Structure 1
Amino acid sequence: MHPIAEQYIAGLKRAYFDYQQGETWEHFEKIRQGLSDTNTQELKRIYPGIPDALISLLEYVDGTYRREYAGERISFYFLGSDVEEYPYYLLPSDKIIENRNLAVKFYAGYINREYQEVEIDNRITDRADALNWLHFSDCMNGGGSSQLFIDFSPSEKGTYGQIVRFLHDPDEFSVIADSFEAYLKMLMDKGYDFIHDYDFE
């Protein structure tokens, strides 16, 4: 397992226990399953730059949003963002593969800067025809308010593999970390605040 992913998971487990959600975590650990070799190969084929740390997380659990394990469908808070105390899910590998064209389909107009009122980080390309984003996470309401992407097509001011956060109403696209590893470190440094005070029942 990638060292940052291993450190992240260990810290997340401690955070669940610290927030009196130890039973929730223990149940999750009993039923979780990792992604298949077939999907690993497909992810690497579609996204040659996919970070090893993300592969490691998916090997640990192949998604936490409406994912069925051991006959039980779960939705489990696993990630966060720069939005304070707001939880996100890790998407399953099938959904990451299925959503390969999601950003172009829904956000081409934004990326091409057709809507001046929408705030878009200048580290993000202004060419929708060149857009190459990996959609790896949706927020707690299924992505209706926020989504997270790994950006393999940054502008000249950006960094290959940077993390882009889309936030709805008002709509904005921001780069929140220069890499997936830096993104996980940010969540650790914030003390996994996205699981604070939420009802897990």
Structure 2
Amino acid sequence: MNLVTHYLDGLRAALPADELEELQKAHGATKEDLEQLRSTYPNCPESLLTLLQQIDGTFWRTYGESKIAVCVLGSDVEDGRYPYYLLSTQQMIESSKEEQDVSYLLEDEDAVDPKINQEGLLPGTYIHFSDCMNNGGTSSLYIDFNPSDKGVSGQIVRFLHDLDEYEVIATGFDGYLQNIIDRGFIFLEEEE
């Protein structure tokens, strides 16, 4: 069983029934959209493309007559309990055109992980693939292909607003998904 299949099986088993029903309305990205993402970002992880072949986004995404909003990803925020949406292929392409400036944070040594290039996340050097349940205003996730000499190409960067910070949370997309599996999809647990 490949990693994405394992991930999706675990996700479906952990999702509440109403969200699972909503997610079942989703379908994969078109071949043209996947090819556009791949040609724009030749280093795009195969596991992200495979995930998008199954689900082309969950962030207020319209599928036929239905609009879905299901959090299917997580991060390290709130000990892994903070949920995130998967952006669609087209949302990724469009939202990755803007520079993610980190220079205003460099005076605070804890605000920008040293694995992140101090020039920031520049257009063409990252994929913005996920926004948090707060519609992306609070936290976003990126695949970074232009790290500092302390990082690795393909590392997963989490931006968190207030206090603004950029942190590397995994060395790659596969490790990122595996971490969510290993934590038991904790972002889907109801708060008590």
Q: Note whether the superposition's TM-score is higher than 0.5.
A: yes
1:28 aligned to which of 23, 47, 70: 23
Pick aligned residue for 1:127 from 114, 119, 127: 119
Contact 2:19 2:70 in 1 (8 A): no
- Do structure 1's residue 12 and structure 2's residue 11 form an aligned pair? yes
SS in 2 for 1:120: coil
RMSD, aligned CA: 1.8
Q: Does the residue aligned with 1:63 lie in a helix, a strand or coil?
A: coil
Q: Encode CA deviations 1:61-115: one digit per residue, 9 max, x unaligned.
A: 100001011311110011000113100000001111111222x1xx32x2x3565
How far 1:5 moved relative to its partner?
0.8
- Which residue identity lines up with residue 22 of structure 1 in the other structure? A
Paired with 1:129 and 1:166, the residues of 2 have a C-alpha distance of 11
CA spacing shift, 1:128–1:6, aligned 2, 3 Å = same
**Alpha-carbon distance, 1:130 to partner:** 5.5
CA distance in 2 between partners of 1:170 and 1:148 (Å): 16
SS in 2 for 1:123: coil
- Which residue is equivalent to 2:50? 56
Cα distance, 1:7 vs. partner? 0.7
Asked whether the equivalents of residues 67 and 74 of structure 1 are also in contact (C-alpha less than 8 Å), the reply is: yes
* Deviations, residues 106-145 of structure 1 (Å, cap 9, x unaligned): x32x2x3565136100000112485611000000011110
Label 1:22 to 1:121 Cα distance change in 2 as closer, same or farther (>3 A).
same
Q: Give the number of the structure whose residues are more often helix, by fraction.
A: 1
Deviations 1:30-73 (A, max 9, x none): x1111001111100111000001101111111000010113111
Alpha-carbon offset, residue 27 of structure 1: 4.0
Aligned length: 187
Partner of 1:75 in structure 2? Answer: 69
Fraction of identical pairs, as percent: 39
Residue type of the alignment partner of 1:53: S
Using the TM superposition, give the Cα deviation of residue 161 of structure 1 relative to its aligned residue in structure 2, in angstroms: 0.3
Cα distance, 1:189 vs structure 2: 1.0
Segments of 5+ residues of structure 1 without an aligned counterpart are none
Distance 1:12 1:48 in 2: 28
Q: Which amino acid aligns with 2:92?
A: I
